[in-house]
Amino acid sequence: MKYALLFAVLLFSAAPAAAEETARALPVPALDVPAAGTRQTAVLAGGCFWGMQGAFQHVKGVKQVTAGYSGGSAGTAHYETVGTGTTGHAEAVEIVFDPHEIGYGRLLQVYFSLMDPTTRDYQSPDDGPQYRSEIFAADAAQQRAAAAYIAQLERAHAFAAPIVTRVSLLHGFYAAEAYHQDYLIRHPDQPYIAVYDLPKIAKLQRLYPDLYRAEPVSLALR
């Protein structure tokens, strides 16, 4: 992620247009997780957590989004260590949502629309297993819903290549360092954010206007 900043300015004019050209609305999941209580949690990894956090902060029904790490141990859940690609961690976001306002399935619909699920260990412009796409299911119901939705997307030929996004049970989520939280909100003019992450929010608004809200949920305001 940090190395990509060196190239972001050069790509500034072309990248947003390319992102919009590949945007597509995906079908609503046929299988969802039953709504229970007023708070449920989803943990999703799909490239740099700055953009994933920033985009899901604009989704109606989402109450909090935290950037962090999942897939490895607590002892290695540190940015510089995760960046070596040897810890088992992926950069991920923990999404707290009201299931009566938005279902887990709709979050998956947004998730698959914001990243490329056909590339293993790569989300443009970042390369390495820490940038892989992986769904960390909180329980068996989420695991079934995620697997069913991937199968549904494959049957619909939603993507030109096979989906390689992993689905695994969550064994821990570790919040990232404070300076990573609300990064997009605090640094909207940073070249990396402008090139690769703001187009995700524009895509969300265009594809799913019923889910989009203009004012993001900020950790700093809680």
The set of catalytic residues is 48
CB 117 within 8 A of CB 164: yes
**Residues whose CB is less than 8 angstroms from the CB of residue 166 and which lie 6 or more positions away in sequence, other chains included:** 132, 133, 134, 135
Give first-to-last CA distance, the chain, whole Å.
Answer: 27
Residue 150 token pair: 């991937």
CA distances from 60 to 11, 96, 106, 144, 217 (A): 31, 11, 11, 24, 9
Q: Which parts of the chain are beta strand (E)?
A: 40-46, 62-70, 90-97, 122-123, 126-127, 133-137, 166-169, 173-175
For the chain, helix (H) and strand (E) counts, in that order, are 9, 8
Q: Do the beta carbons of residue 184 and residue 191 sit within 8 Å?
A: no
d(CA 81, CA 220): 26
